[in-house]
A and B are shown apart, each in its own frame.
Chain A
Amino acid sequence: MAEAAQMKVSDEVAITIQNMNKWYGTFHVLRDIDLTVYRGERIVICGPSGSGKSTLIRCINALEEHQAGSIEVDGTLLSSDLKNIDKIRSEVGMCFQHFNLFPHLTILENCTLAPIWVRKIPKKEAEETAMHFLEKVKIPDQAGKYPGQLSGGQQQRVAIARSLCMRPRIMLFDEPTSALDPEMIKEVLDTMIELAEEGMTMLCVTHEMGFARQVANRVIFMDAGQIVEQNEPEAFFNNPQSDRTKLFLSQILGH
């Protein structure tokens, strides 16, 4: 499915990160991050654990606060102003490793909650949208159930549908398949591939290298809070430049 990787990327900028730094206490987690994401890009971020990849994408929707540098999402500068933060969050969807569905609400209510309360969309319309996206992730028949009654893969697909119901312009994925059984990983990846083919701007933290080869137009390798290497997937996997990248790739692709 090379066509996904060859899909056109526009010149329009979606996210600009300039000289961004972050500390946890005295620990310097993100160092001088510079990254420009164009609309329609599918970026996979990989790296050893503790390298700051999750922290990086969590800074983009202000789940983590950065201390220096600037982040601009969709033309809105991320500052401590709550209004800007809420605006960015409603434009940027996010999927988590542990799904984080709301266990006290049904699948349908999970999907309609934010559109109704944040976008002020009438309930009926929100439900129609929710059913549309649940059909897209192929679980419309589970709409009346509670998250606890679904399998992990189904829950992650609901989480994707829940984000899509807000009609986001950018999607962030924070290790979406790490907590899943091998059998379920595929169904989630298929959903993500479909999303990529529709031209969604995506940033994925993942260890699914097959997914990276197939879908990404850019792979970013991070280590010790810095971007060590970034390239097109073909070049990244076949011809890594830095020693750290070579070591990482040999370890995860070694068996």
Chain B
Amino acid sequence: MTDTNVSFVRHEQIPPSPPPPSQSGAIKWARENLFSNWINSVLTVLALYFIIRLVMGATPWFINGVWDADSIRECRDILTAAGKETGACFAVLVDRWDHLLFGFKYPQDAYWRPTLAFILLIAAAMPALFYMYVPRKFLLGTAAYPFLAYWLIWGGSLWVPIVVAAAIIATGLVFRLVESLNVSTRTLLAGAVGILAAIGLAYLLFLGAQELRFIAGSIGSEGLRIIPFLLFWAASIFTYVFFIPMGIFVGYAIYDDAERGGLVTVVTALLAIYVMLVYLLGPVSSGLNAVIPLELQAVPSRDMGGYMLSLILGTVCVSLSIPLGILLALGRQSNMPLIKGVCVVFIEFIRGVPLITLLFVANVMLAYFMPPQSNFDLILRVIIMITMFSSAYIAEVIRGGLAALPKGQYEAADSLGLNYTQATRLIILPQALKISIPGIVNVAVGLFKDTTLVSVISMFDIVGMIRGPIQQSTDWISIYWEVYLFAALVFFIVCYGISQYSQWLERQLATDHR
């Protein structure tokens, strides 16, 4: 080595070359992942042993399965006659197929209705799930779906959901109309709406006070009950004393806000939909039905059951709790103390309570708190409770997404002159929701499986059907593996589908090239 010259100039690029063969292929994979050291090798062999044992044990049970029998005894007789030691009684699935899917009370000749609703659900979900490939106008179909599905599953007059949909559209029009009014007209309207809202609120609180007194009366004052008795009475008196100032305060707030107009618009729209649903829905829909009858056999909520009930609860609660969760998460970040406080208390309270207690509240307590004559649908009560529960969780997941956004994104949106709604809708939420997808899906999947808890409050979803009418029937007494495996399978299919979709969506939205 005599050349000590350190100066160097490269004139040609080194061309890329493939890696050496020992660095690729199945052998490399196995060596790295299964036999990298002796502990790993021992674990691999042990795992293989257990997998083989499991497969060998379970295979005959599946293969010998009996698909055609009327009861568990007949099924066992068939197995003994064939000289098989072990075997599954899949016959229960065949025998009780309808019950597992629709519950045991849903009218048989109407099975086509939920089936059709399910097929339409898939069609209606497409424009929302694959929005980047489906033209936007198809979303109209998605928006119309809930009304059609309600009619198919619950039956009754088609005019009811149509009138409800019309009322919602009319409310939107009212909202637009009030928004476009000039300031002086809007101030006039705000005055009128303020007075109406003041009276309405006072009346509501008045009813509440009566209710509290009713509860106090029904508790009675003997013994230890004196404390809740006095509490309810105190609350009742408080409500009586404060209903008038509260009403006046809210009414004045609406009037005072007339120039900006946000409050007037929202309250007018709420009043409009209230009037339409309470006073117009019944007469208009029955009137229309008398002229053009479009009726299906009505099925009460009590008769819903099976996997259909699980799917109804899952779909409705997931699709309601995501928007509600977004609102709660944004509310929790709000600068306005009242909104922030309400959201924090709601989220913290709901998260601190087990779902099962909320379901019991829905089942028993709510009916107790309601006026005796009111008839509040059980499925609706359960939907409200599950939605509240999961929206609190989703709100926290989305709050995580919001917190993960750099402050610069808010500042850039602000500095371009976007207002709060625009910045939130166009800049903040698309990014925060994208970050939150895994968390939201986590909650959604958990929520879907948690719907089986309704079996505890004597609703016959798929688990309720298995635990009740199937396992307690004389034909299929104490059958476990087959039915629960089936329930696990149908849940797995949906949950795995959701999970795969969310991963696909994440890849679609990955534009940051990190």
Interface residues of A (CB under 8 A from B): 61-63, 82, 86-87, 89-90, 92-94, 96, 98, 100-104, 113-114, 117-118, 146-149, 162-163, 166
Contact = CB atoms under 8 A, between A and B. Distances in A.
Contacts of B509: 104
B22 interface: no
Contact of B422 (A62, A117, A149): A117
13 contacts: A87-B417, A94-B415, A98-B408, A100-B409, A100-B411, A102-B412, A114-B416, A114-B417, A118-B418, A146-B512, A148-B512, A149-B513, A163-B416
A90 B417 CA distance: 5
B416 A101 contact: no
A74 to B, nearest CB: 13
B418 A104 contact: no
A117 B418 contact: yes
Contact of A166 (B409, B412, B416, B512): B416
Contact of B430 (A92, A100, A104, A163): A104
Given A96-B411, A118-B416, A148 B511 contact: yes
Contact of B408 (A62, A100, A114, A118): A100
B11 interface: no
Contacts of A163: 415-416
B289 interface: no
Contacts of B511: 103-104, 146, 148
Nearest to A82: B419
B414 interface: yes
A98 B406 CA distance: 10
A61 B418 contact: no
B427 interface: yes
Interface string B399-430: 00000001011011111111100100011001
A68 to B, nearest CB: 21
Nearest to B511: A146
A104 B431 contact: yes
B417 A118 contact: yes
Contacts of A149: 513
A113 B418 CA distance: 9
B417 A89 contact: yes
B408 A102 contact: no
B351 interface: no
B434 interface: yes
Q: Which of B431, B511, B512, B514 has the most CB of A within 10 A?
A: B511
A61 B408 CA distance: 14
Nearest to A113: B426
Contacts of A103: 431, 511-512
A96 B430 contact: no
